[in-house]
Amino acid sequence: MSDIPQINPQSNQPAFSIEKVYVKDLSLEIPNAPAVFLEREAPTVDIQLHHNSTTVDNGVYQTVVTATVTAKIGERTLFLVEAAQAGIFTIRNIPQQEMEAVLAVACPNILFPYVREVISETTARAGFPPVILAPVNFEAIYAQQRGQAAGSGDVQIVTPGVSH
């Protein structure tokens, strides 16, 4: 029925497959509507991006990339949109020392274009110009955080925020 090759759990070959990509959570707030639509001043846009991975089952992992975009003029919020894009991945026979990099780089790289589209579409449908997230180099972020945590042995991946 399906031409997609299935991962054989009995094989010792490294394997990586995308099982599912989905929007796990989506929130939009326009607390000062309708007055914000009359504003002519350009807002300050703050973008926060985070990702994490968890084990779902033996060899099955979930990675979630969350983007939070807040637009303000002064202290007044125009909108706040938060999207959590998730993916379920089957990853088998990858050496343990490489697994962290797969979950911190490969999985977010797959999910980022999806969360980027959700943020852009949501802001446009809310009546604002679309917010288009700039590309993110998850490999560089991982390498930087890995270097900072080399002495502690503890790595938590948090992508730095951006303000416009």
CB neighbour class for 73 (10 Å; exposed up to 12, middle 13-18, buried from 19)? middle
* Residue 94, C-beta contacts closer than 8 angstroms, at least 6 positions apart: 14, 16, 102
Give me the chain's average pLDDT, please.
Answer: 87
* Residue 24, C-beta contacts closer than 8 angstroms, at least 6 positions apart: 64, 84, 85, 86
| pLDDT of res. 7 | 55
- In this prediction, residues 121-136 reach a mean pLDDT of 96
| pLDDT of res. 12 | 84
Q: What angle do CA 153, 158, 160 make, to 5 degrees?
A: 130
In 3-state terms, what secondary structure has residue 72?
Answer: strand
| pLDDT of res. 156 | 46
| pLDDT of res. 96 | 85
CATH of domain 25-128: 3.10.420.10
* Model pLDDT for residues 33-66, shown as the tens digit of each residue: 999 999 899 999 999 999 999 999 999 999 999 9
| pLDDT of res. 146 | 82
